[in-house]
Amino acid sequence: MLGHLKLMAVSAIALTAAVQSASARDLVIAGWGGNYQDVQREVYFRPFAADKGIGFTEATYLGGLVEAKTMADTGNVTWDLVIVEGADLQVGCDEGLFEEIDWSQVPLKDELIPEAVQPCGAGNVVIGTGLAYNRDTVGEAPTSLADFFDTVKWPGKRGLRAGPRFNLELVLMADGVAPADVYKVLSTPEGLDRAFARLAPLRKDLQFWDAGAQPVEWLAANNVAMTFSYNARITAAKNEGKPLEFLWVNPIYSIDAWAIPTGAPNRELALEFINYANDAARQAAFSTRMPYGTTNVKAPELMTPEAAAEIPAGANIETGLFFSDAFWIDNGDAIAERWNAWVTQ
Amino acid sequence: MSKVVYWVSLSFAFFFLAAPLLIVLPLAFNDSSFLTYPMEGFTFRWFGVFFDTPPWLSSLANSFKVALGTTLAALLIGGLAAMGVMLLGRWGRIVMSALFVSPLVIPSVVLGVAMAYAFGRAGWGGGYLSLVFAHTILAAPLVFLAVTTSLMGLDPELDRAAASMGASRWRRFHTVTLPLAMPGFATGALFAFITSFDEVVVALFLSTPQTQTLPITLFSSLRDRLEPTIVVVALLLSIVSCLFILALNRLQRRGAGR
Amino acid sequence: MPKLKNSQIAALTLLALPVLVYLALYLAPLASIGRLSVDNGALSQRFPALSARFGETEAPDDAAAAALLTDLKAMARTERAEAGRLFNQELGGMRSLIIDTGGAATQIEPTLSALTAFDPRWGEPAIWEVVRRNVEPITWRHFQRATGLKPSAEGGFEMSPGDDVYLRILLRTFVIGLQVTALTLLIGYPLAYAAATGSRRVQAVVLMAVLLSFWTSLLVRTTAWVVLLQTNGLLNGLLMWLNLIPEPLQLIFNRFGAVVAMTHVLLPFAILPMINVMRTIPAAQTQASRSLGAGPVESFLRVYFPQSLRGVAVGGGTVFILALGFYVTPALTGGPGDQMLSYYIADFVRRGLNWGMAAVLSIFLLVCVVALLVSGALLRRAFGWSRSSAASGGTG
């Protein structure tokens, strides 16, 4: 009998102990995983935490607003910082899911490109998205986005980011639409039909990725013959000796920004981090290893010419397209619905 | 001829069942960052990576916390349910048993969505509490089944004998019934622990960076990149499963030997 | 008999806590799925005036315009943004329309013409139709979208081509479930047979392998297959080393990968019930049939196999039901055409923030599982099979 009571008492105590959540917690930073987050950790997270004498915990983020919305609805804000895409930043900001940034607390503001200074976010990197391949297995190297669609010359699976964003733009450019006209065409029903029609012959060969590290892995393992991917992940893997290449023809460039979920317990610290991450020298160090573009205008001068040549800027994006957040905020749901229907046909 | 067919199909089936893990798990010791044979040398360095790189170790700790909490809660809930159901009439027994066992057949994604929404609204979202709650519902049916099985195997004569000697119901319960049902509880505890420890889907909906469990970290790493650390985790989880089976085996032998 | 009464009290005392816990942590959340599937509170609560107006008449007139502006004015900026996002799930462009109109609501005169002057889209009946449908507290739009059935002008239902996406996915879920079930039975049968009738050593080895597999984490076994099936992975390496194929095959991210990995994960669930049944088949029967002159194949097919079918049915049914709810394994080993209903449920929560659709698809899945369980029970009755070897263990 006593033993039984003891068991119950122990269980009650253990449960309470398990339930207790940390009261003063580490700075929690959510990033996009893979080598992107590895370099962020070394250039930003670790030194910042060491500077402040605090601990930090990392989370993986796969895009979207689910986590931010859940945090806002339940009041249980588990992240202090998250690096988001422009469209999500704006929607989240409008709905009050992200804290408004007090830019007066960010001394480095004046060194930033204007697109980086947002009401609820601080642009930190410029991402290039385009065609990538494995030069050891691809055979003849592709030279244009149109080659992505040539499954006769290049048989094998094709990797695409899950969902229609980025993909439809790249498809239209592959179909000969000039970058400046892409969103004009995409706004019309005929343009949308055109994009889907161009993609239709590939449907059976597509494989969709959620995490930016996946296309890199897939290319390296030869699971796909070509893929759309983010430029820096490919180049960073290449610099580590993997036989991967990114094609700087008609890339799309977009901005990832740091945002603070509303009610984050460490929001003052998070704001300090935002300033910290916009320092020219640190951005240069980051982009040297992870060649995304910088948002601090002084950063490229601090990089070697070879490193600066790998980032989505200058000649690399001459044939490029600046990703439109506004287009996707308005039309994203309808197009995503059609996309899903098309994928599952 | 029929013998040949039998042995060929048996060998193939056995190979299919056993080989994948036996082939893949040794790669945890491969001195190369590629998951391929032949092995380039023997190393423990990927274990070092596991212990040094967050969030592997903290998620292992989280898994233990959640699994322990779940085991205790499921023992209480499943055990009480099993003992209570034994005292019901035929129909009561059927209906209540169906209720208590039913979480086993509900697809985990459905439970995940339901619990993420309901727990979130109740304000339990995110913490260990919500994970323990969810896993308790997944594990309690197993405790219920284990305890019910051992209670059904009890000799009613023993209880009657104790009653005839004037023992009160409660006294009979904790001196006769409970000790005899103990193996059922122990088995149930093992079931509950392993269920929680290995659970992925519901935890995907409920865990946060602070409470992330080992399977969740493994799942997101699998989508991130294939590195030998993943095989190290697979190996560690397999070892836990082996220990579990050993424990179960001993329990059953003790039960059979009595 | 007073004893009965006592035991009832004892039963109630013992069952009180488990029942309460099940109610709070299990039944209530499941019930909330039903509510979620039709709930439109997030929108209807924001539009009380408009909702009341549409209760009287559905015409988009001056009064409706005034009600709309009243409601928009009463909302906070963030609330308008959320309402706009929800409308946008129905019709592209609604988000900016709601946000812009809401931002200027104080300056717009409460008439339809003023509203249309502010933004000509308010003159389109289609916009008003979307608004009217979405300010009701109960919505069937998720069910309509999931089934592809939309109310037609004639009062019935109609389905336009391409709208049956989720029904197709349901069909695919069944097809994959059947493929996996067939394979597990095919591969599992000889193993179960060996575990039930083989020599002592064979029995021990097979049973140990089955149990180890059963209790090894689903994720670990899926991991093994991900490693094996890579294009530059172990299986292709082996096949090429054996000179069986000239270049690597695509083994992962397709139906092959998904079905093979799921078959492996679910194999023990097919084998264990088969073993249970096979162990009850007396060896003497087969021997008797042999002694009466039947060959080994004939005596197996005519005597042993029919008796083992009960185990096959229980194992197959268990595997099929569990397979229907699979998420993790196909997500890691399949391609986009091999994802099952669970994937889309998770996806709607994860990516779309659309709990309504996730709830409706969850209901689809639940209904299928319950229907299968009931028909399984009926079948068992029809064949007079006793209740034994119930399924247990995790799902994934």
Q: Which of C71, C106, C131 is the last residue of a domain?
A: C131
Q: Is A73 found in the same domain as A47?
A: yes
Q: How far apart are CA B245 and CA A283, in angstroms?
A: 52
The pLDDT of residue C190 is: 95
* Residue C8 counted as domain residue: no
Q: How far apart are CA B64 and CA C162, in angstroms?
A: 47
Q: How far is B212 from chain A (nearest CA, A)?
A: 9
Q: How far apart are CA B58 and CA B166, in angstroms?
A: 54
Q: How is residue A341 written in tokens?
A: 């229907």
Q: Is A330 found in the same domain as A222?
A: yes
Which residue, among B201, B220, B224, B244, would best test binding to C if mutated, counting the most C CBs under 10 Å from its CB? Answer: B201
Q: For residue range B44-88, what is the model confidence (pLDDT) as tens digits?
A: 989 998 988 878 899 999 999 999 999 999 999 999 999 899 888
Q: For residue range C296-319, what is the model confidence (pLDDT) as tens digits?
A: 888 888 889 999 999 999 999 999
The total number of structural domains that make up chain C: 2
- Chains contacting A (3+ CB pairs below 8 angstroms): B, C
The pLDDT of residue C388 is: 44
Q: For residue range A34-62, what is the model confidence (pLDDT) as tens digits?
A: 889 999 999 999 999 999 999 998 888 88
Which residue, among A1, A5, A25, A234, would best test binding to B if mutated, counting the most B CBs under 10 Å from its CB? Answer: A1
Task: Among C230, C351, C353, select the one facing A223 at the smallest CB separation.
Answer: C230
Q: Is A134 found in the same domain as A244?
A: yes
Residues 6+ apart with CB under 8 A from A127: A230, A231, A232, A253, A254, A255, A256, A292, A293, A312
Residues 6+ apart with CB under 8 A from C260: C225, C229, C333
The pLDDT of residue B256 is: 56
Instruction: Characterize the bridge pairing of strands C157-158 and A226-230.
Output: unpaired
Q: How far is A66 from chain C (nearest CA, A)?
A: 6
Q: Is A199 found in the same domain as A272?
A: no
Q: Is C348 found in the same domain as C247?
A: yes
Q: Is A260 found in the same domain as A111?
A: yes
Decide if C22 touches B, using CB distance below 8 A: yes
Q: Tell me, what DSSP letter sits at residue C244?
A: S
Task: Among A162, A206, A221, select the one facing C231 at the smallest CB separation.
Answer: A221
How many residue pairs bridge chain A and chain C with CB atoms within 8 Å of each other? 89
Q: Is A140 found in the same domain as A110?
A: no
Task: Among C194, C369, C394, select the one facing B199 at the smallest CB separation.
Answer: C394
Q: How far apart are CA A323 and CA A169, in angstroms?
A: 9
Decide if C365 touches B, using CB distance below 8 A: yes
Instruction: Characterize the bridge pairing of strands C150-151 and C157-158.
Output: antiparallel
Q: Evaluate if residue B213 carries a pLDDT over 90.
A: yes
Architecture of domain B65-86+107-258: Orthogonal Bundle (1.10)
Task: Among B127, B129, B223, select the one facing A214 at the smallest CB separation.
Answer: B223
Q: Evaluate if residue A215 carries a pLDDT over 50.
A: yes
Angle ∠(C232,C181,C331) on CA atoms, nearest 5:
45
Decide if C32 touches B, using CB distance below 8 A: yes
Q: Is A137 found in the same domain as A166?
A: yes
Q: Which amino acid is at C313?
A: A
Q: For residue range C341-355, what is the model confidence (pLDDT) as tens digits?
A: 999 999 888 876 788
* Residue C176 counted as domain residue: yes
Q: For residue range B215-258, what is the model confidence (pLDDT) as tens digits?
A: 999 998 887 777 888 999 999 999 998 998 888 888 877 765 44
The pLDDT of residue C5 is: 66
* Residue A273 counted as domain residue: yes
Domain range holding C275?
165-383
- Beta strand segments in C29-180, E: 150-151, 157-158
Terminal-to-terminal C-alpha distance of chain A: 63
- At residue C39, the 3 state secondary structure works out as strand
For residue A29, what is the nearest residue in chain B, using CA coordinates? B209
Q: How is residue C118 written in tokens?
A: 């502010």
* Residue A9 counted as domain residue: no
Q: Evaluate if residue A23 carries a pLDDT over 70.
A: no
Residues from chain B that touch C194, judged by Cβ atoms under 8 A, are 10, 14
- At residue C105, the 3 state secondary structure works out as helix
Q: Is C179 found in the same domain as C125?
A: no
Q: Is C79 found in the same domain as C181?
A: no
For residue C97, what is the nearest residue in chain A, using CA coordinates? A330
Judged by CB atoms closer than 8 Å, whether chains meet at B210 and A79 is answered as no
User: Is-contact B66 B132, C-beta < 8 A?
Assistant: yes
Q: Is C172 found in the same domain as C231?
A: yes
Q: Does the ipTM surpass 0.85? A: yes
The total number of structural domains that make up chain A: 2
User: Is-contact A244 A237, C-beta < 8 A?
Assistant: yes
Residues from chain B that touch C300, judged by Cβ atoms under 8 A, are 2
Which residue, among A67, A158, A330, A338, would best test binding to C if mutated, counting the most C CBs under 10 Å from its CB? Answer: A330
* Residue C15 counted as domain residue: no
Range C20-25 contact pairs with CB under 8 angstroms and sequence separation of 24 or more: C21/B77, C21/B136, C21/B140, C22/B77, C22/B99, C22/B100, C22/B137, C22/B140, C25/B115, C25/B133, C25/B134, C25/B136, C25/B137
Backbone angles phi, psi at B227, to 5 degrees: -130, 160
The pLDDT of residue A19 is: 42
Domain range holding A32?
23-126+254-304
Decide if A69 touches C, using CB distance below 8 A: yes
User: Is-contact A161 A218, C-beta < 8 A?
Assistant: no
Hunting for tokens 């929680």 — which residue is that?
Answer: B196
Burial of C294 (0-12, 13-18, 19+ CB in 10 A): middle
Q: Is C209 found in the same domain as C63?
A: no
Q: Evaluate if residue C38 carries a pLDDT over 70.
A: yes
The pLDDT of residue C201 is: 94
Dihedral-angle region of residue C265 (phi above 0 means left; psi in -120 to 50 means alpha; beta otherwise): alpha
Q: Which amino acid is at B75?
A: L
Q: Is A333 found in the same domain as A298?
A: no
Residues from chain B that touch C226, judged by Cβ atoms under 8 A, are 222, 226
Q: Evaluate if residue A21 carries a pLDDT over 70.
A: no
Q: For residue range A149-197, what is the model confidence (pLDDT) as tens digits?
A: 999 999 988 999 988 999 999 999 999 999 999 999 999 999 999 999 9
- At residue C79, the 3 state secondary structure works out as helix
* Residue C317 counted as domain residue: yes
Decide if A226 touches C, using CB distance below 8 A: no
Find residues 32-91 of chain B whose CB sits inside 8 Å of chain A. Answer: 54-55, 58, 65-66, 68-69, 72-73, 75-76
Confidence band, pLDDT 50/70/90 cuts, at residue A12: very low
Q: Evaluate if residue B173 carries a pLDDT over 80.
A: no
Q: How far is A223 from chain C (nearest CA, A)?
A: 5
Q: Is C301 found in the same domain as C213?
A: yes
Residues 6+ apart with CB under 8 A from B143: B74, B75, B77, B78, B79, B82, B185, B188, B189, B191, B192
* Residue C3 counted as domain residue: no
Q: How far is C324 from chain B (nearest CA, A)?
A: 8
Q: For residue range A252-270, what is the model confidence (pLDDT) as tens digits?
A: 999 999 999 999 999 999 9
* Residue A13 counted as domain residue: no
Q: How far apart are CA A196 and CA A188, in angstroms?
A: 13
Task: Among A206, A223, A344, select the one facing C231 at the smallest CB separation.
Answer: A223
Residues from chain A that touch C76, judged by Cβ atoms under 8 A, are 96
pTM for the model: 0.88
Whether the bond between B55 and the residue before it is cis, its omega within 30 degrees of 0, is yes
Backbone angles phi, psi at A59, to 5 degrees: -130, 160
The pLDDT of residue C218 is: 92
Range B240-247 contact pairs with CB under 8 angstroms and sequence separation of 24 or more: B240/B194, B240/B197, B241/B194, B241/B198, B241/C212, B241/C215, B241/C216, B241/C217, B241/C220, B242/C212, B244/B190, B244/B193, B244/B194, B244/C215, B245/C211, B245/C212, B245/C215, B247/B190
Q: For residue range B120-171, what is the model confidence (pLDDT) as tens digits?
A: 888 776 689 999 999 999 999 999 999 998 888 766 677 677 777 777 766 7
Q: Is C370 found in the same domain as C249?
A: yes
Q: What is the CATH number of the domain that holds C171?
A: 1.10.3720.10
Q: What is the CATH number of the domain that holds A276?
A: 3.40.190.10
Judged by CB atoms closer than 8 Å, whether chains meet at A333 and C168 is answered as no
Q: How is residue A29 written in tokens?
A: 């930073």
* Residue C14 counted as domain residue: no
Q: How far apart are CA A118 and CA C386, in angstroms?
A: 68
